Structure 1
Amino acid sequence: MLDPFFKPKGVAIIGASRNPHKLGYGVVRNLKEYHYQGKIYPVNRSATEILGESCFANVNEIPDPVDLAVVIVPAPVVPDTLRDCGERGITHAIVVSGGFSETGKEGEQLEKELKAVADEMGIHVIGPNCIGTIDTHTPVNTTFVTGMPESGEIGFCSQSGAMVASVIDWARGAGVGFSRIVSLGNQVDVNETQMIEALREDRQTKVITAYIEGVSNGEKFLESAKKAALEKPFVALKGGRGESGAKAVASHTGALAGSAEAYKSAFKRSGVQQADTMEEMFDWARALAWQPLPKGKRVAVLTNAGGPAILAVDALEKAGMKLAELTKETKQYLQSRLPNAASVENPVDVLAGSGPGTYAVALDAILTDENVDSVVVIQAPQDWFLPASLAEVVGEVASTHDKPVIASIMGKASVEEALNILHKRKVPNVSFPERVASVLAAMVQRKEWLEMPNGTPEPFENISTTSAQTLANQQEWQQLLTQYGIALPPQQQVKSVDDAIAYADKIGYPVVLKVVSDDISHKTEVNGVKLNLNNAREVENAWHTIEASATEAGTNMEYGLVQKMFTKGQEVIIGIKRDDQFGPQVLFGTGGTDVELLKDVESALAPLNQQQAEQLIDATRAGTKLAGWRNQPPADREAVIDYVMRLSQLAKDLQQVKELEINPLYVLSEGQGAYAVDVRGFLAEATPEEIAST
Structure 2
Amino acid sequence: MTGSSITAPARSRLHDFLAPDSIAIIGASADPTKRGYKAMVGLIKGNYRGKVYPINPKVPEILGVPTYASLDDIPGPVDLALVCTPASTLTALMADCGRKGVKGAVILASGFRETGPEGAQLESQVMAAARAGGVRIIGPNTSGMFNLHKNVNLLDLRNIKAGDIGFISQSGNMLLALVLEAENNGHVGFSTYVGPGNQTDIGFNDYLRYLGEEENTRVATLYVEGFRDGQRFLQAAREITPVKPVVVYKSGATELGKKAASSHTGALAGSYEMTVDLLKQVGVSVVRHSDQILPVAEGLALMQKARGRRVAVIADGGGQATITSDRLSDAGLEVAELSEPTRKRLAAILLPQASLANPVDVAGTSDADPEVLARCMEIVAEDDNVDAVFLVGMFGGYHTRFAESLLGGEMRAAEAMIELRRRCGKPLVVYSLYAPIKPPPLRRLHEAGLPVYASIEHAVKVLQALAERGLYLQRQHGQPLQQSVAPREDMLAMFARAQTEGRDLFEFEAKNLLRAHDVAVAEERVVQTADELAEVAAYFGEQALAMKVVSKDILHKSDAGGVKLNLKGETALRAAFEHILSNCRSYDANADIRGVLVAPMAKKGIEVIVGVVRDPIFGPVLMFGLGGIFVEILEDVAFRAIPLSRFDAEAMVEQLKGRKILAGVRGEAAADKPALVDLLLKVSSIVSAYPQLSELDLNPVIAYPDGLAVVDARIIINRAMMSA
For 2:181, which of 165, 170, 177 is the aligned residue?
170
The one-letter code of the counterpart of 2:635 is K
Residue 133 of structure 1: how far off its partner (Å): 1.6
The residue that corresponds to 1:652 in the other structure is: 688
Q: Which amino acid aligns with 1:365?
A: I
Q: In the alignment, what sits opposite 2:525?
A: 492
Structure 2 counterpart of 1:106, which letter? E
The Cα offsets for residues 219-251 of structure 1, whole Å up to 9 and x where unpaired, read as 443433222223211222233424275414221
Whole-Å separation in 1 of the counterparts to 2:135 and 2:267: 42
Mapped contact 1:219–1:582 kept (Cα < 8 A): yes
| Superposed displacement of residue 683, structure 1 | 0.7
SS at match of 1:258: coil
Aligned AA for 1:402? G
Equivalents in 2 of 1:73, 1:105: separation in Å? 21
> Which of 650, 654, 675 is residue 618 of structure 1 equivalent to?
654
Report whether the alignment pairs 1:51 with 2:74.
no
Distance 2:49 2:441 in 1: 33
Q: Which residue of 2 aligns with 1:370?
A: 384
The equivalent of 2:632 in structure 1 is 596
Question: Hey, what does 2:489 align to over in structure 1?
Answer: 466
Is 1:518 aligned with 2:552? yes
Q: Please, what is the CA RMSD of the aligned residues?
A: 3.1
Distance in 1 separating the partners of 2:22 and 2:320? 52
Contact 2:346 2:379 in 1 (8 A): yes
The correspondence for 2:516, drawn from 483, 487, 503, is 483
d(CA) in 2 for partners of 1:310, 1:610? 37
> Does residue 255 of the first structure (1) align with residue 267 of the second (2)?
yes
Distance across 2 between alignment mates of 1:311 and 1:499: 68
**Is the Cα contact below 8 Å between 2:257 and 2:617 reproduced in 1?**
no
- Give the match for residue 363 of structure 2: 351
Where does structure 2 lack aligned partners over 5 or more consecutive residues?
1-12, 499-504
Amino acid at match of 1:205: T
- 1:134 and 1:385 map into 2 onto residues whose CA distance is 46
1:68 aligns with 2:80: yes
Structure 2 counterpart of 1:415, which letter? K
* Aligned positions of 1:77-96 closer than 5 A: 77-96=89-108
Following superposition, the deviation at residue 548 of structure 1 comes to 6.7
Deviation at 1:651, TM superposition (A): 0.2
The letter of the residue matching 1:330 is: T
Q: TM-score, normalised by structure 1?
A: 0.89
Query: Equivalent residues in 2 for 1:340-489 (5 A)?
Result: 340-351=352-363, 354=367, 355-380=369-394, 383-384=401-402, 389=411, 394-410=417-433, 413-415=436-438, 420-451=443-474, 452=476, 453-457=478-482, 465-472=488-495, 473=498, 474-475=505-506, 476-489=509-522
Match of 2:251 in 1: 239
Mapped to 2, the partners of 1:393 and 1:28 lie a distance apart of 46
User: Deviations 1:639-664 (Å, cap 9, x if unpaired)?
Assistant: 22222222111101111000111111
Distance 1:270 1:426 in 2: 27
Instruction: State the 1:345 CA deviation.
Output: 1.1
| Equivalent residue letter for 1:584 | P
Letter in 2 for 1:357: E
Q: Count the aligned residue pairs.
A: 682
- Deviation of residue 209 (structure 1)? 1.5
Aligned to 1:42: 54
The residue type equivalent to 1:35 in the other structure is: N
Return the offset for 1:165: 3.3
Question: 1:592-638 deviations in whole A, cap 9, x for unaligned?
Answer: 11111111211222233433322222222455433333422222223
Q: Secondary structure at the match of 1:445?
A: helix
Please give the TM-score of this superposition, normalised by the length of structure 2.
0.86
Q: C-alpha distance in 1, partners of 2:321/2:651?
A: 31
Aligned-pair distance for 1:486?
1.8
3-state SS of the aligned residue for 1:337? coil
Measure, in 1, the Cα distance between the counterparts of 2:253 and 2:67: 46
Deviation at 1:37, TM superposition (A): 1.9
**Which residue among 4, 15, 19 is the counterpart of 2:31?**
19
Distance 2:550 2:557 in 1: 8
Alpha-carbon distance change, 276 to 546 in structure 1, aligned in 2, over 3 angstroms: farther
The 5 Å alignment of 1:210-289 reads 210-243=222-255, 245-258=257-270, 260=272, 263-264=275-276, 266-289=278-301
Instruction: Measure, in 1, the Cα distance between the counterparts of 2:197 and 2:267.
Output: 31
The structure-2 alpha-carbon separation of the partners of 1:174 and 1:630, relative to structure 1 and needing over 3 Å to count, comes to farther
Residue 205, structure 1, aligned to residue 220, structure 2: no
Amino acid at match of 2:163: G
- Partner Cα distance (1:402, 1:525) in 2: 62
Q: Deviations over 1:426-452 (max 9, x none)?
A: 223333213333322322222222222
In structure 2, the CA distance between the partners of 1:402 and 1:632, relative to structure 1 (3 Å rule), is: same
- Asked whether the equivalents of residues 251 and 659 of structure 1 are also in contact (C-alpha less than 8 Å), the reply is yes
What CA distance in whole angstroms lies between the structure 1 residues aligned with 2:265 and 2:626?
12
- 212 and 530 in structure 1: CA distance in 2 versus 1, 3 angstrom threshold: same
1:244-287 Cα distance to aligned partner (Å, 9 max, x none): 75414221122223265664454344333333233333333222
Q: Distance in 2 between the 1:91 and 1:485 partners?
A: 53
Aligned to 1:690: none
Which deviates more from structure 2 when the two are superposed, residues 260-269 or residues 590-599?
260-269
1:366-403 Cα shifts (integer Å, max 9, x gaps): 11122111111112477236898576554443333210
Structure 1, 196-205 or 535-544: larger mean CA deviation:
535-544
Cα distance in 1, alignment partners of residues 101 and 305 from structure 2: 46
Distance in 2 between residues matched to 1:575 and 1:170, nearest whole Å: 43
After alignment, is 543-552 or 197-206 more displaced?
543-552
| 8 Å contact from structure 2 (residues 274, 638) kept in 1 | no
Where structure 1 has 5 or more consecutive residues not aligned to the other structure, the ranges are 688-694
Query: Secondary structure, in 3 states, of the residue corresponding to 1:110?
Result: helix
Distance change in 2, residues 1:92/1:379 (3 Å)? same
Counterpart of 1:303, as a letter, is: A
Could you tell me which residue of structure 2 aligns to residue 636 of structure 1? Answer: 672
Q: Which residue of 1 aligns with 2:172?
A: 161
Residues in 1 aligned to 2:548 and 2:308: alpha-carbon distance in whole angstroms: 49
CA distance in 1, matches of 2:674, 2:314: 42
Instruction: Indicate how the Cα distance of structure 1 residues 656 and 133 shifts in structure 2: closer, same or farther if over 3 A, else same.
Output: same
Q: Is the counterpart of residue 322 in structure 1 residue 334 in structure 2?
A: yes
Distance 1:422 1:297 in 2: 24
Q: Identity of counterpart residues, as a percentage? A: 34
Alpha-carbon separation, structure 2, partners of 1:519 and 1:197: 48
Give the partner amino acid of 1:570.
Answer: I
Aligned with residue 6 of structure 1, among 18, 36, 40: 18
Higher mean alpha-carbon deviation, 109-118 vs 399-408, is at: 109-118
SS class of match (1:308): helix
